[in-house]
Amino acid sequence: MSADFPTIIDADTQSGIQAYRVAQIQRRLAEADCPAIVLFDPVHIRYATGTRNMQVWTMHNICRYAVIFASGEMVLFELNSSAHLSRDYVADIRPSLTTDFMAVGNRGPEMGRRWAASMISLLQEKGISTRKLAIDRADLTLVLESQRQSLQLLEGQSIMEQARAIKSFDEIEVLRRSLQTCEQSVAEMREKLKPGMREADALALFVDGSIQRGGEYPETRLLTTGPRTNPWFQETSGRIIEDGDLLAFDTDMIGPMGYYNDISRSWVVGDKRPTDDQRRLYSLAFEQMQHNTELLKPGTGFLEYSDKAYQLPEECVPNRYADVAHGCGLGVEYPFIWYREDEEWGAYDGVFEENMVVCIECYVGEIGGHEGVKLEQPVWLSADGPVVLSEYPFELDYL
């Protein structure tokens, strides 16, 4: 299928979600006093239009884009060969222009001039007198040629991130249902997983199960075992899993309707009971998870949250995870909550808002230690407090 479809919800609910998303973008455009935004990021295009087209390929080949107006109907610029994919979802579809060197070679500047001229013409067609246009991302040739034609490109990434951050109730429910397909796949992987298999075999079981249930693709390969669980962010390998190994993974799966199925779990593979050291690591990670989940509530500042977050033992701080928490929707989203130790790399303040969905990230592994434990769960910030969306169990008998 070319676009989102009601595999886990009915068509009316899907239509309502799409209308909500467009309204979110239009509200942010009005607040920014900007008449329109052009979207190149395939995830943003999907959020705004509900359509998809070779999502991973178009992340590194700039060939389709959409223009969303503060008022009025959107326009989707699509590859000539792919226009038929979105006709049931967007009324106005036009041929796209690209400056990508792979596609146009040394004609990039020419295509950039044509692109800028087409955007100026589109604004005039819609009765917009200004030449201001927000943009989420673009290559340098396109930007330079736009400047030469006095098309004023404005930063639009913040518009999209803030729009995506606040979910409707229907979105939260669909995210929950998408997540259930991921959890079913994790359970199936665990049932089939045995010592003697490779890490790659375990990952393949999970990905296969997810795709069979309507999932689309994993964004990472973060499933490791034994000594490869510490430090974190080592990618899945051909290592043979031994009886008693600790397995740790992060699903990072784009599930049905494009929602990001993002949970992490760890457990001991085989018939052996967890060692005292494995129990200790797991207990620390679980305590971190519970503490940081309970802290989440609307109105809390991002930096305040970092200050109050669980304090890892000193020997685990150097191997800390990349963030304390992050937004979750069609991928990793705003906000991104840094550890205070990393604030020089971009930590920023803000406020958690009602109906955000935030993933709590936990990793515990000592410097020079044999193994590490990774846990993660998505949490809805409801008016009544944090609501955990993941139903996959933790290893409470390890505590």
Average of pLDDT values for 273-295? 98
pLDDT digits (tens, 9 = 90+) for 344-357: 999 999 999 999 99
∠ Cα 186 329 309 (to 5°): 85
Domains detected in the chain: 11-164 (3.40.350.10), 166-398 (3.90.230.10)
Q: Are 27 and 42 in contact (CB under 8 A)?
A: no
Phi/psi-derived region of residue 334, left when phi > 0, alpha when psi is between -120 and 50, beta in every other case: beta
pLDDT recorded at residue 2: 39
pLDDT recorded at residue 1: 32
pLDDT digits (tens, 9 = 90+) for 380-394: 999 999 999 999 999
pLDDT recorded at residue 7: 67
pLDDT digits (tens, 9 = 90+) for 23-33: 999 999 999 99
Q: Are 256 and 279 in contact (CB under 8 A)?
A: no
CA distances from 20 to 41, 187, 269, 305 (A): 19, 33, 44, 29
Mean pLDDT (the chain) is 95
Q: Is the pLDDT of residue 286 over 70?
A: yes
Q: Is the pLDDT of residue 135 over 70?
A: yes
pLDDT recorded at residue 4: 52
Average of pLDDT values for 180-205? 97
pLDDT recorded at residue 9: 81
Q: Is the pLDDT of residue 21 over 50?
A: yes
Q: Are 138 and 157 in contact (CB under 8 A)?
A: no
Q: Is the pLDDT of residue 285 over 50?
A: yes
Average of pLDDT values for 371-378? 98
pLDDT recorded at residue 89: 87
pLDDT digits (tens, 9 = 90+) for 153-183: 999 999 999 999 999 999 999 999 999 999 9
Strands 385-388 and 152-155: unpaired
pLDDT digits (tens, 9 = 90+) for 75-106: 999 998 988 988 888 999 999 999 999 999 99
Instruction: Give strand pairing partners of 183.
Output: none
pLDDT digits (tens, 9 = 90+) for 49-61: 999 999 999 999 8
Q: Is the pLDDT of residue 5 over 50?
A: no
Q: How many CA atoms lie within 13 A of 390 on its CB side?
A: 26
Residue 361 pLDDT class (50, 70, 90 cuts)? very high
| 59 SS3 class | helix
Average of pLDDT values for 308-334? 97
Burial readout 129-146 (b: 16 or more C-beta within 10 A, e: otherwise): eebbbbbbbbeebbbebb
